[in-house]
Amino acid sequence: MLDTKLLEIDDPEAQSDAVDQAAQLLCRGGLVAIPTETVYGLGANALDPQAVKQIYEAKGRPQDNPLIIHIADVEDAKKYAKDIPPEYYELCRRFSPGPLTVILKKQDCIPKETSGGLDTVAIRIPSHPVARAIIRRAQVPIAAPSANLSGKPSPTTAQHCIDDLWGRVDAIVDSGPCSVGVESTVLSLAEEKPILLRPGAITPEQLSEVLGELVIHQAVTGELKQGVKAVSPGMKYKHYSPKAQVTILDGTSEEYIRYVNSHNAPGVYALCFEEDASELRVPYILWGRGEDDGVQAHRLFAALRELDEKEAVQVYARCPSKKGVGLAVYNRLIRAAGFDEREISDEKASR
């Protein structure tokens, strides 16, 4: 058991001592959970193989699943990546700092522990002021996967990190809830064509404005098919699995309400839009209005953890829009559901 420190940082300038402590722990090879605008990350010095190995141990993460490195300034990208195409800088001008991760060919200084043995590296420039202050103070790139135990929903509050990692890490920084709530968009510029590997708050529509053609990997909207290359090793693993069986219901509000009410039983919960709630006769968790994909993203992982706490057995989730940030919400939800999605629309079901 490690003696985990809790460091509260709301304002990195006013609380520069706590920023120093976090940075020093990282420089000495320690593990620190840090806030970002997407989810909390479990940080270690990305250039220190021993420190990075501990990330995998603390999370229980498969060793071949590479880590994202976090830097504060775009000028640093060339220290860790090579053959960087001009599109990378164009994307950074538009979307960095922010919830975008780009995969590039790696420089030799990135150890195989960080890259999962691949010849590429995933780079992200977070916008969260506390993350930026800690990275700048540490003066090293910070490798950070989401700060959850492997298989649990990603943490969007410091309490989630405490629940999963207390005693397993040197420190947890508490800067309040994350604004975005789902992990960054992952885009590869290391393949023949730009390819979206994981949707996030930077949408395919936005990326296409810069890149023109954008390939969306098959696993973004479904299960990784046998024989399809897992360009991103993370695609192979089951993710975000709550204890309950989650079933996604695709239909109108009326169809959803009718279906859920007729499947009422002990342990049944609804993960519903606000407009569905008033007529539901089962306990529910609200996750925003149907058109409000930003709110759905912000609340999804906390809602999945809450359902676990309530010991839900079966959860019926309303199907998100799959457009804009809705695609990221859908991508996380189908994994939480083990791809159990049902068409409940009368029209289509009766065909």
What is the contact surface with Mg ion in residues (CB under 5 A)? Answer: 146
Strands (DSSP E) found in the chain: 5-8, 32-34, 41-45, 68-70, 81-82, 100-106, 120-124, 142-143, 171-174, 185-188, 195-198, 215-216, 245-250, 268-272, 284-286, 314-318, 341-343
| Nearest distance in Å: CB 193, ligand TXA | 15
| Nearest distance in Å: CB 154, Mg ion | 5
Specify the 3-state DSSP secondary structure of 228: coil
# residues contacting ligand TXA (CB under 6 A):
27
Q: Which is nearer to ligand TXA, 150 or 253 (CB)?
A: 150
Q: Please choose, from the candidates 208, 201, 235, 232, the residue with its C-alpha nearest in 3D space to the C-alpha of residue 221.
A: 235
Q: How many CB atoms lie within 10 A of CB 78?
A: 12
| Nearest distance in Å: CB 145, Mg ion | 5
The partner in contact with residue 24, picked from ligand TXA, Mg ion, none with C-beta cut-offs of 5 to 8 angstroms by kind, is: none
**One-letter amino acid for residue 274 of the chain:** E
Q: What residues between 192 and 211 interact with ligand TXA by CB under 6 A?
A: 197
How far is residue 256's CA from residue 243's CA, in Å, rounded to a whole number?
22
Q: What share of the chain is helix, strand, coil (3-state, %, to 5)?
A: 35, 20, 45
The partner in contact with residue 36, picked from ligand TXA, Mg ion, none with C-beta cut-offs of 5 to 8 angstroms by kind, is: ligand TXA
Q: Which is nearer to ligand TXA, 146 or 331 (CB)?
A: 146
Q: Which of 21, 38, 157, 203 binds ligand TXA (CB under 6 A)?
A: 38
Q: What residues between 41 and 60 interact with ligand TXA by CB under 6 A?
A: 41
Q: Residue 2 — left, alpha, or beta (φ > 0 → left; ψ -120 to 50 → alpha)?
A: beta
Q: Per CB under 6 A, which region of 7-15, 143-151, 167-175, 291-299 contacts ligand TXA?
A: 143-151
The partner in contact with residue 101, picked from ligand TXA, Mg ion, none with C-beta cut-offs of 5 to 8 angstroms by kind, is: ligand TXA
Q: Which of 22, 23, 51, 68 binds ligand TXA (CB under 6 A)?
A: 68
Q: What residues between 216 and 255 interact with ligand TXA by CB under 6 A?
A: 231-234
| Nearest distance in Å: CB 125, ligand TXA | 10
DSSP-derived secondary structure letter, 319: P
Q: Which is nearer to ligand TXA, 103 or 249 (CB)?
A: 103
How far is residue 222's CA from residue 330's CA, in Å, rounded to a whole number?
10
The partner in contact with residue 247, picked from ligand TXA, Mg ion, none with C-beta cut-offs of 5 to 8 angstroms by kind, is: none
The partner in contact with residue 66, picked from Mg ion, ligand TXA, none with C-beta cut-offs of 5 to 8 angstroms by kind, is: ligand TXA
Q: Please choose, from the candidates 297, 294, 295, 273, the residue with its C-alpha nearest in 3D space to the C-alpha of residue 285.
A: 273
Residue 121 near ligand TXA by CB under 6 A? yes
How far is residue 275's CA from residue 294's CA, in Å, rounded to a whole number?
16
Q: Which residues of the chain form contacts with ligand TXA (CB under 6 A)?
A: 36, 38-39, 41, 65-68, 101, 103, 115, 118, 120-122, 124, 144-146, 183-184, 186, 197, 231-234
